[in-house]
Chain A
Amino acid sequence: MEIIEKIKTNKSDDNLTEIQKICLNKLHSSPLPNPKSELWRLSNKSKLSKFLDYSVNEKDSKFDIPYPKNSQSTIRLIIGENCQIKLIEKNYSIQQLSEDELQKYIKEQISFFKQNENWSDLLNLSLSCKNNILGLKINGSKIPPIEIFSHSSSNSLNAKTLVIFIEKNCDIELLQVNLVKENSSLSQSTFFCLKENSSVNHGVVSYGENKSNLLNSLNVIQQKNSAYNLGSLHFKFNYARFEISIKQSSGSAKTNIKGMQITKKDEQISTYTKIEFNGPNGFLDQINKSLADDKSHAIFEGSIIVPKIAQRTDASQLSRNLLLSNLAQIDTKPQLEIIADDVKCKHGATISQLNEEELFYMRTRGITLTEASKLQLSSYFQEIISFIPISKDRWDLLDKLLNEN
């Protein structure tokens, strides 16, 4: 109940939007996710309650983008900065969704929500006020890369919502950056709707500082012949959850996911993915990497659901994990639920440490142990990082990761 009280503080019912009311109502019956449910049983309860400890902030403090805009033209948007977006060029257009469109879509999504699966979304939508919801409709081709920032700072809990419609035959590169400062929490929910024949290269880079928390939820609906590529990286969070739900609404779509999470100290970062094939000829290739050091805990749970209608689905999922310390732990659970018989589905999981033979080889060639470990790690990271769009021009993620090691 505390959460609900908190959301309502400083607000009378009249100030709440209709969506906020619906979500609050849903949260009312069970304000917290069931800690025994599969999706929440490994989640650290005290860390989750710390996430909720901060007071809700609806107005942003000044936000400095961590790197300058370079000459290459990118479109940069910051959720929460109340600006009107309307870009209509020869080849493409980027427009804000009308209030009605946005409301209608979000309400439709809420009707599919389940308490434990979508708790993060429910919390997000009951917290995020009008200013913090950004709805976009993107059309056309040869669109410059888009960067979208969400941030949270000053000892507060911020909620940002992003809804993007990618229209037919549209092709874009989009990097989403979530920055969370010390002692603050960010709740980010993103809704993508990919129409027929569209293609998206989506990058998600989330990084925090000490004691920052993140609940990041990503919901994607893919229509026929669409292609969705996701590269994601989460690091430096006291507590972070990345929940991905992808639905291929009528099959024949392609999904590629490459994700990575890095935990140190006593951090806990988890990734939950649910990929549903609701039509035939779907394709999925997913790899998730975790690295756990010190006393940290990395979790991956991925499920692939292939109902009867999804014949000729080709899905593979791989979970690769590096456990670097005696006190760290890794949990992984790749799962398959299959009814269609004419499918190719496989998954794999490994947990190991750095390859000793490779280290030994490099050392015999005069490379120090530290350098050799760095080399191995860089090849481990590289596969994921090279898949994240735009970032390589912007900041050297690899350097950032290695130097922090």
Chain B
Amino acid sequence: MVNENLVKDVVKEPYKYGFVTDIETEKIEKGISEDIIKLISQKKEEPKFLLDFRLKAFKKWQKMKEPDWAELGYKKIDYQDIIYYSAPKQKEKISSLDEVDPKLLETFDKLGIPLTEQKKLTNVAVDAVFDSVSIATTFREELAEHGVIFCSISEAVKNHADLIEKYLGTVVPASDNYFAALNSAVFSDGSFVYIPKGVTCPMDLSSYFRINSGDSGQFERTLIIAEESSSVSYLEGCTAPMFDTNTLHAAVVELIALDDASIKYSTVQNWYAGDEEGIGGIFNFVTKRGKCLGKRSKISWSQVETGSAITWKYPSCLLLGEESVGEFYSVALTNNLQQADTGTKMIHIGPNTKSTIVSKGISAGNSKNSYRGLVKMGTKATGSRNYSQCDSMLIGDQASANTFPYIKSQQPNSEIEHEASTCRISEDQLFYLQSRGIEFEEAVSMMVSGFCRDVFNQLPMEFAAEADKLLALKLEGSVG
């Protein structure tokens, strides 16, 4: 019998991003109303179409009911007790990074995010979002040479309003779900990426989201458009300080891939997960969806979810274009009292579309980890294929692992395969490794890493290393 306590010890690593940056911020009053939305829109100097979009979304949101079907246990959110706009105070216009508050730069330095452009070696362009506002985007000029637009969404609203008007809300309409409607009404910032026809983005793009204040929600919006025959790899990372209160993070991510385009979207989510008693932590209620509009287009989601008190998200692919491809690779690790209800939706609409789902869930402590996924073959999806694999690993006998795959087919000339398994850390393997002189903790983390290998192989290099480390840290103290 594996020593339970030893395993438990392996997962106990304090959250190292839990510091608060002491910086002057500009916040608006708590609550949500038409006036607040108008105020946000006015602060961001938005055109009328966007204000209309927000107000329409708000009206829809008011009529909607907060969903409860996932049976996640959390205290009712008081939407009037949230600050919907919070931004670090800074000079009106920043022309270079030198003008950004040094404290902010220091924060991102602490987080290991290369904002200063001297760190060119990393070859990753970063858009850093602090609370509600994007504070800096690096490598802009180099990207502009290739015609790639990478900026905060508020800038895009000012400079590329036509693109925003054309694509915003086309993948995730404002009325899609409760949290998407809320986001559409109050979204403050986020990233915008536009890859022109035939361009392969010369470097990985990255967004870094940081929640700093305890009483403000974060509602960012990301929009990525890949024109014909273009390709891009986008990385997203998130952290937040430790607060006793729960903070709501309701983001919307929309991806659009046209003919032969390919988008790879990778996330390492490490929001503050709350303490061992489940106090505090982020509610991560995110809507992520990609639309493979063009023929032979491809959207690939890879995610490593280790943080948040509650993760509730289903990055999805709408496979409309002929021979388009959707992929979903996920590792979700829950510990203590964390809850994760995550998975994907692969909606096959066009003919000869293909999708692959690989999901690995690891539950430790008293946590609850569920995979919930939908695979649907529409009537026109002839020759389409899906393969799903969902594995769960349980550490300790208090954690739960659930698998809820919804499979629906209306097309005889298509194939769906799904398999799932649940296991624990194998004692034989552990014994073998230990007998070869490998420390217990290291053996466990090797085995967890091996369990997640299929997913880590899909992550971009920098992320794969980070994810491995993150998982080892998170598990420290919990395996036994």
Chain A positions within 8 Å of B, measured between CB atoms, are 308, 311, 321, 323-353
For the complex of A and B, the 6 pairs showing the least CB-CB separation, nearest first, are A341-B394, A346-B421, A349-B418, A351-B416, A323-B412, A345-B422
Q: Of the candidates A321, A323, A347, A350, which one forms a contact with B403 in the assembled complex, judged by CB atoms under 8 Å apart? A: A347
> Which of chain B's residues have a CB closer than 8 A to the CB of A339?
394, 397-401
Q: Which residues of A contact B377 (CB under 8 A)?
A: 351
Shortest Cβ gap from B393 to chain A (Å): 9
- Which B residues are within 8 Å of any A CB, using their own CB? 377, 379, 392, 394-424
Least CB separation from B364: chain A residue: A341
> Which A residues are CB-close (under 8 A) to B407?
330-333, 349, 351
Option from A308, A329, A338, A344 in Cβ contact (under 8 Å) with B408: A329
Q: Which residues of B contact A350 (CB under 8 A)?
A: 415-418
What are 13 A-B contacts with C-beta separation under 8 Å? A308-B398, A326-B410, A327-B410, A328-B410, A330-B407, A333-B404, A334-B418, A335-B403, A335-B404, A346-B419, A347-B403, A348-B417, A352-B414
Given A333-B405, A344-B423, A346-B420, also A324-B400 (CB < 8 A) = no
Is B409 touching A323 in the complex (CB atoms < 8 A)? Answer: yes
B41 to A: closest C-beta gap in Å: 36
A330 surroundings in chain B (CB, below 8 A): 407-409
On chain B, the residues within 8 Å of A341 by CB distance are 394-397, 399, 424
Specify which of B398, B402, B406, B414 is in contact with A336 (CB 8 Å cutoff): B402
Query: In the complex, A332 Cα to B386 Cα: how many Å?
Result: 14
Chain B residues with Cβ under 8 A from A347's Cβ? 403, 418-420
Interface majority SS (helix, strand, loop, mixed), chain B: strand
B25 CB → nearest A CB, Å: 43
Complexed CA–CA distance, A352 and B383 (Å):
10
CB-nearest residue of chain A to B370: A337
Residues of B within 8 A of A326 (CB): 379, 410-412
- Given A340-B397, A344-B423, also A349-B409 (CB < 8 A): no
Which of B401, B414, B419 touches A338 (beta carbons < 8 Å)? B401
Q: How far is the CA of A352 from the CA of B419 in the complex (A)?
A: 15
Q: How far is the CA of A205 from the CA of B208 in the complex (A)?
A: 60
Contacts of B419 in A (CB 8 A): 346-349
Give CA–CA (A352, B409) in the complex, Å: 9
CB distance from A320 to the nearest CB of B (A): 10
A333-B405, A335-B405 are known contacts; what are 10 more A-B pairs with Cβ within 8 Å? Answer: A330-B407, A334-B420, A336-B403, A339-B399, A339-B400, A340-B394, A348-B420, A349-B405, A350-B415, A353-B412
Complex alpha-carbon distance, A80 and B178, angstroms: 52
Closest to B406 in A: A333
Q: For B397, list chain A residues within 8 Å (CB).
A: 308, 311, 339-342
* B417: A residues at CB distance < 8 A: 348-350
Complex-state Cα separation, A194 to B400, whole angstroms: 29
Which of A331, A346, A352 is B422 in contact with, Cβ under 8 Å? A346
Among A323, A335, A338, A348, which residue has its beta carbon within 8 angstroms of that of B394?
Answer: A338
8 Å CB contact of A335 from B400, B402, B415, B423: B402
Alpha-carbon gap, A389 to B403, bound state (A) = 33
**Do the beta carbons of B415 and A352 come within 8 Å of each other?**
yes
Complexed CA–CA distance, A93 and B405 (Å):
46
Q: Flag if B405 contacts A338 (CB, 8 Å).
A: no
CB–CB A342/B400 < 8 A: no
Contact, CB under 8 Å: A345 / B409: no
Q: Are A331 and B416 in contact (CB under 8 A)?
A: no
- Chain A residues near B394 (CB-CB < 8 A): 338-341, 343
Closest to A318 in B: B419
- Bound form: Cα–Cα A346–B411 in Å: 26
A308 to B398, CA, bound (A): 7
Closest Cβ neighbor of B372 among chain A residues: A335
Q: How far is the CA of A352 from the CA of B184 in the complex (A)?
A: 40
CB distance from A377 to the nearest CB of B (A): 14
Alpha-carbon gap, A340 to B397, bound state (A): 5
Known: A329-B409, A342-B424. A348 touches B418 (CB 8 A): yes
Give min CB distance, B388 to chain A, whole Å. Answer: 9
Q: Nearest residue in B to A42 (C-beta to C-beta)? A: B408
Q: How far is the CB of B43 from chain A (nearest CB, A)?
A: 40
Q: In the bound complex, how far is the Cα of B408 from the Cα of A68, in angstroms? A: 42
The interface residues of chain A lying within 8 Å CB-to-CB of B408 are 329-332
A335 to B394, CA, bound (A): 16
Alpha-carbon separation in the docked complex, A324 to B402 (Å):
31
- The interface residues of chain A lying within 8 Å CB-to-CB of B416 are 349-352
Task: Indicate whether A337 sits within 8 Å of B400 (C-beta atoms), given known contacts A323-B411, A346-B420, A350-B417.
Answer: yes
Closest Cβ–Cβ distance, residue A349 to chain B (whole Å): 4
Q: Do A345 and B421 contact each other (CB < 8 Å), given the known contacts A328-B412, A331-B407, A336-B401?
A: yes
CA distance A347 to B406 in the complex (A): 13
CB-CB under 8 A from A324, the residues of chain B are 412
Q: Would you call B405 and A351 a contact (CB within 8 A)? A: no
Closest beta carbon of chain A to B448's beta carbon, Å: 14
Q: Which residues of B contact A337 (CB under 8 A)?
A: 400, 402
Shortest beta-carbon distance from B181 to chain A in Å: 20
Write out the residue numbers on chain B whose beta carbons fall within 8 Å of the beta carbon of A334.
405, 418, 420
Contacts A333-B404, A338-B422: A351 and B398 contacting too (C-beta < 8 A)? no
Q: How far is the CA of A326 from the CA of B401 in the complex (A)?
A: 36
Closest chain A residue to B410, Cβ basis: A329
B405 proximity list for chain A (CB < 8 A): 333-335, 349
**Closest partner residue, chain B, to A301 (CB atom):** B406
Q: A351-B416, A352-B415 are in contact. Are A343 and B422 (CB under 8 A)?
A: yes
Smallest beta-carbon distance A363→chain B, Å: 18
